[in-house]
Structure 1
Amino acid sequence: MDSPPEADLSTDELFARTLQGDEEDQGAWRAIWQLHHRGGEDVFQRAAAWLQSISPKERGRGANVLSQLDFRHRSPELVARFTDALLPALAKEQDAAVLEAMAAALGHLGDPRSVPALLPLKDHPDAHVRFGVVMGLASHRDPHALQALIQLSRDADHVVREWATFTLGSQAREVDTPELREALVDRLSEPHPKIRGEALLGLALRKDARVLEPLRRVLEGGPEVTTLDVEAAQALEDVSLLPLLLAHREAFDEEDEDPEFLAVLWEAIHTLESLPR
């Protein structure tokens, strides 16, 4: 397989390429990913220096590079070193896009020192920053991090709510507290199907009986049923839901149906059919 063009670029050229286009520019991100793979002291020093730049874009790209630098062979010592570079920069940063990038970078690193640094940003007026906080806290099970995620699961911005609900419901499935369950119950009335589905799945994984009737109503509702709803039925392991899943299987159109949805549906049916009745 031919190497991508970025592999032949110098480190200076890769850093320059990270600045092209807007924040989501694919060429810029290919350069960032190449720097992640290349790793080493030179890349670290350049990214850390950019955190102090007068250019917001350079500061953000410095955080993007540090987020997964040397990810294949990243020791605890390297994680601590990268975090040491990011935390002081985060504390003085004012630009919303850069704050989001730094918060997400800290999430990739997973250093517990990030939690108290991120908590004050959960109330930031910019939804992109609050989304970054969700990303930054997602891997942490510290009670303060979980409390912040519960707050963010009720955020005014639906993207922030969705990712906070996903984190609490599925990613933190090993955590089971009354307050976390109540936060998921609060999301059962969501108008957004994906957020509602994350809440259904999170409660089903914890075998919370309160999810049965809301889940039944969703499965009876027809075309707005999502893979999350079907996964919730599988996780709850209540055989009374089997006829509803079978009805969806009988109604599907092979040409129009999402193949991922069908695969999840078949797996859920198999699980419920294997349970005693």
Structure 2
Amino acid sequence: MDFPPEADLSTDELLARTLQGDEEDQGAWRAIWQLHRRGGEDVFQRAAAWLQSPSPKERGRGANVLAQLDFQHRGPELVARFTDVLLPALAKEQDAAVLEAMAAALGHLGDPRAVPALVPLKDHPDAHVRFGVVMGLSQHRDAQALQVLIQLSRDFDEVVREWATFTLGSQAREVDTPELREALVERISEDHPKIRGEALLGLALRKDARALEPLRRVLEDGVVTTLDVEAAQALEDVSLLPVLVELREACDDEDEDPEFRAVLFEAIHALESLVP
């Protein structure tokens, strides 16, 4: 396997690189990824110490590093240890960007102790923090986590709504409650194609008939995304087959998105196999 040039850098050099540029700097994230792979006690101690730094940038990067540190061989003991240092740091943090990073890190770790720690942030005035809460709760299926995700699926911020709807609809597909279904039904009237698509797919995965007619309208007249086509396949209602075939004929063009075409052809094949 080929490794990026960062593999040859010292831990000091990698940590310094994580602080370059803005939050999305690609060089910084390559350094973070290398620290994840390198792992070990020294990297842990350095990242944990950064959580107590007076610099918000260092506190946030400390959380970024801990999020997936030693991910290749991280057992419950390491998860608990990393969570042990993140939770008290989260409790006293005030900076929105750092709160988002810490919440997302807890999401990667998946320790159930994160749920009650994140619940108070669900009403934070900064949408980035609420987005972090969605990420932080994404692995949890207990009633408290699901209730917060349902609330955030109604958030006024589109990104928060989209990711909360995705988490409820697809990621938590093994969960099926009336409250969760109702939250997805609320989102199928969205103008935002991805939010609407995530809601339709979530309902279709649960074979909820309320998805059928809204989905048909989107496939016939709307801005159709891969999510909508995946929903048609998941719902397994062969009455949608003709409109999918029409879509295939309409997009029979080399310039069409190859991913969309592949999903569309797969959905048509799947529904055709259900025809008596």
Quickly name the TM-score band, shorter chain normalised: over 0.9
Distance 2:242 2:173 in 1: 27
Letter in 1 for 2:210: R
Residue 256 of structure 1 and its aligned partner are, at CA, apart by: 2.1
Closer, same or farther: CA 2–143 of 1 in aligned 2, 3 Å: closer
Alignment partner, residue 169 of structure 2: 169
Q: Gaps spanning 5+ residues in structure 1: where?
A: none
1:203 and 2:203 matched: yes
- Percent identity at matched positions? 88
1:2, distance to aligned residue in structure 2 (A): 5.3
Instruction: Spell out, residue by residue over 1:78-128, the C-alpha distance to the aligned partner (whole angstroms, 9 max, x if none).
Output: 000000000000000000000000000000000000000000000000000
After TM superposition, list the pairs within 5 Å mapping 1:1-277 onto structure 2.
3-222=3-222, 224-277=223-276
Q: Distance in 2 between matches of 1:155 and 1:39?
A: 37
Q: Distance in 2 between matches of 1:202 and 1:3?
A: 38
CA distance in 2, matches of 1:269, 1:75: 42
Distance in 1, matches of 2:254 and 2:265, equals: 16
How many residues were matched structurally?
276
- Report the AA paired with residue 166 of structure 1: F
- State how far apart, in whole Å, the 2-side matches of 1:30 and 1:241 are: 44
- 1:105-152 CA-partner distances (Å, limit 9, x unpaired): 000000000000000000000000000000000000010000000000
Provide, for residues 177-209 of structure 1, a one-character-per-residue CA deviation record: whole Å limited to 9, x for no partner. Answer: 000000000001101000000000000000001
**C-alpha deviation, 1:5, in angstroms:** 1.8
| Deviation of the 1:253 alpha carbon | 3.7
Give how far 1:75 is off. 1.0
Counterpart residue type for residue 272 of structure 1: L
**Runs (4+) of structure 1 moved beyond 6 Å?**
none
The alignment's TM-score, normalised by the length of structure 1, stands at 0.98
Tell me the distance in 1 between the aligned counterparts of 2:7 and 2:182: 49
**In 1, Cα distance between equivalents of 2:260 and 2:2:** 35
TM-aligned CA distance change 1:2 to 1:153, over 3 Å:
closer
Structure 2 residues without counterparts, runs of 5 or longer: none
In structure 1, distance between residues paired with 2:88 and 2:12? 25
